[in-house]
């Protein structure tokens, strides 16, 4: 939940940060808060923005979308299971033709109930889909990917996040649930890139400089202690440098709270045409 009100005059996501933002130790690229530090610790599920309530992975998804696109104000945009509340959704609606959805509605509620395996939109009716940490809860991955491709216009984009905790895709070894008690059907790995390509997407895996440098170095272990839920050794082994593109140098990653680097990935999936 947001801890303070969203600014009523929030600038466009593509507006260049002013000098105060550019020089801040910490800044939120969603609500444009600046300060000395985020709340909590450095982790994809922490580093909370004290204004809008975004966590680090929220900011990375938004950063990937804005960094990789021309200004798209007015775009038809679907976001599945957004974490953030009414102020965020109002801001998104001021920038885009915005719809948010959820399926099980335990932790999040959108304006529509959408199953990614059967998306209630016409063919070629969306410009952008943002789908953070949903695909792992979908039983039939290929069916969902076909639907995502179907609803996009030619040239449309999906920005897809899943928890990337290991090198290769596999079902959970034992029953697994996320914090809202939603079952996890798949633990995805770097082979998701090729799977997305087989479905017809032009696919790039987006990360940060630090992880790309790590993969290129050939090291199989991270230089610092790692969070136990991440199998960084298998991630290091199975990541393919040619599939990775960095969207954040070390300074930008630190300012947005995108540390440690092995926690931050987003698939950019473009429909040809």
Residue 5 lies in a domain: no
For residue 221 the two structure tokens come to 């272990």
Q: Give pLDDT, residue 268.
A: 99
Q: What angle do CA 94, 99, 102 make, to 5 degrees?
A: 140
Residue 251 lies in a domain: yes
What is the number of structural domains in the chain?
Answer: 1
Q: Which residue range is the domain that position 196 belongs to?
A: 19-270
Q: Give pLDDT, residue 172.
A: 95
Cα–Cα dist 235/152, whole Å: 30
Residue 8 lies in a domain: no
Length of the chain: 273
pLDDT tens digit string along 192-235? 999 999 999 999 999 999 999 999 999 989 999 999 999 999 99
Q: Give pLDDT, residue 10.
A: 74
For residue 230 the two structure tokens come to 């991440």
For residue 143 the two structure tokens come to 């069916």
The sign of the CA dihedral 143, 144, 145, 148 is positive
Residue 1 lies in a domain: no
Query: Which parts of the chain sit beneath pLDDT 50?
Result: 1-3
Residue 208 near residue 246, CB atoms below 8 Å: yes
Residue 140 lies in a domain: yes
| CATH number of the domain encompassing residue 105 | 3.40.50
Residue 9 lies in a domain: no
Residue 268 near residue 203, CB atoms below 8 Å: yes
Residue 4 lies in a domain: no
In 3D space, the residue among 84, 93, 135, 83 whose CA is nearest the CA of residue 114 turns out to be: 135
Q: Give pLDDT, residue 175.
A: 85
Q: Give pLDDT, residue 1.
A: 39
3-state secondary structure the chain: CCCCCCCCCCCCCCCCCCHHHHHCCEECCCCCCEECCCECCCCCCCCECCCCCCCHHHHHHHHHHHHCCCCCCCCEEEEECCCCCHHHHHHHHHHCEEEEEECCCCCCCCCEECECCECCCCCCCEEEEEEECCHHHCCCHHHHHHHHHHHEEEEEEEEEECCCCCCCCECCCCCCECCCCCECCCECCCCHHHHHHHCCCEEEEEECHHHHHHHHHCCCCCCCCCCCCCCHHHHHHHCCHHHEEECCCHHHHHHHCCCCHHHCCEEEEECCC
Q: Give pLDDT, residue 174.
A: 87
Residue 97 lies in a domain: yes
pTM of the predicted structure, to 2 decimals: 0.95
């Amino acid at each position: 939940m947001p801890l303070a009100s969203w600014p009523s005059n929030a600038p466009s996501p593509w507006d260049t940060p002013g000098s105060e933002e550019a020089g801040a130790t910490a800044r939120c690229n969603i609500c444009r808060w600046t300060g000395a530090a985020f709340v909590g610790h450095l982790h994809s599920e922490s580093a909370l923005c004290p204004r809008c309530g975004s966590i680090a992975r929220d900011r990375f998804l938004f950063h990937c979308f804005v960094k990789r696109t021309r200004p798209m104000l007015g775009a038809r945009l679907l976001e599945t299971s957004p974490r953030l509340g009414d102020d965020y959704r109002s801001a998104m609606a001021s920038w885009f033709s915005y719809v948010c959805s959820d399926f099980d509605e335990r932790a999040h509620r959108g304006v529509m109930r959408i199953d990614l395996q059967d998306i209630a939109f016409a063919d070629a009716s969306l410009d952008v889909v943002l789908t953070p940490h949903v695909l792992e809860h979908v039983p039939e991955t290929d069916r969902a990917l076909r639907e995502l491709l179907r609803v996009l216009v030619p040239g449309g984009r999906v920005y897809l996040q899943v928890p990337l905790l290991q090198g290769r895709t596999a079902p959970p070894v034992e029953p697994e649930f996320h914090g809202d008690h939603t079952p996890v059907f798949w633990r995805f790995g770097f082979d998701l890139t090729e799977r997305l390509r087989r479905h017809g997407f032009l696919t790039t895996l987006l990360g940060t400089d630090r992880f790309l440098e790590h993969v290129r170095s050939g090291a199989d272990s991270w230089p610092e202690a790692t969070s136990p839920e991440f199998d960084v050794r298998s991630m290091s082994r199975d990541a393919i440098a040619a599939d990775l593109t960095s969207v954040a140098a070390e300074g930008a990653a630190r300012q947005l709270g995108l540390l440690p680097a092995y926690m931050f990935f987003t698939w950019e999936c473009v429909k040809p045409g």
